[in-house]
């Protein structure tokens, strides 16, 4: 944000960017969740398993910021739908290891491509050609910002 003269308010810019990115993320998640019949928490766990690999239920609960009991319900739903598999941990048979299965991986990939299409449609519909060029030009800056956080 530019204030009087050429002063720049980094805090105000950061707050506006955070708000905009948060709103975009929420809307994309809502669109993905509605189309799949899965809850946002279930999609989030699938995406995490796809991105980070196998994990324990306890580690997933911590990473997702939920109680282990809530994670157990989420995992039971995903397992019932055939999207994840559980197996005993090789180093400690009392623990379980959760992995995303091929159907879960396919669902995540499909949702990612749907999100990209949803976003592309909105950009084409709502922005002029000049605005699309500005958005395109800002992408390297946003990528660099994401790498530096």
Is the pLDDT higher at 52 or at 6? 52
Is the pLDDT higher at 34 or at 74? 74
Is the pLDDT higher at 28 or at 137? 137
- Taking the C-alpha atoms of residue 135 and residue 139, their distance in angstroms, rounded to an integer, is 7
Residue pair 98/64 in contact (Cβ under 8 Å)? The answer is no
Helix 102-126 and helix 129-148, axial crossing angle in degrees, nearest 10 = 140
Query: What's residue 26's pLDDT?
Result: 85
Query: What's residue 38's pLDDT?
Result: 85
Query: What's residue 5's pLDDT?
Result: 54
Closest CA to 43 of 73, 67, 78: 78
Confidence of residue 130 (pLDDT cuts 50, 70, 90): very high
For 133-146, what is the mean pLDDT?
93
For 65-83, what is the mean pLDDT?
96
Q: Is the pLDDT of residue 127 over 90?
A: yes
User: Tens of pLDDT along 54-71?
Assistant: 999 999 999 999 999 999
Q: How many CB atoms lie within 10 A of CB 99?
A: 15
């Amino acid at each position: 944000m530019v204030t009087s003269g050429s002063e720049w308010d980094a805090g105000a810019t950061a707050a506006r960017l955070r708000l905009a990115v948060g709103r975009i993320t929420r809307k994309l998640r809502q669109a993905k969740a509605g189309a799949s019949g899965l809850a946002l928490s279930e999609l989030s766990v699938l995406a995490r398993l796809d991105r980070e690999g196998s994990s324990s239920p306890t580690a997933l609960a911590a990473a997702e910021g939920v109680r282990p009991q809530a994670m157990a319900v989420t995992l039971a739903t995903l397992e019932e739908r055939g999207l994840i598999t559980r197996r005993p941990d090789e180093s400690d048979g009392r623990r379980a290891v959760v992995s995303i299965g091929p159907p879960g991986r396919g669902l995540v990939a499909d949702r990612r491509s749907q999100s990209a299409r949803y976003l592309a449609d909105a950009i084409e519909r709502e922005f002029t050609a000049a605005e699309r060029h500005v958005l395109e030009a800002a992408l390297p800056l946003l990528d660099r910002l994401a790498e530096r956080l």
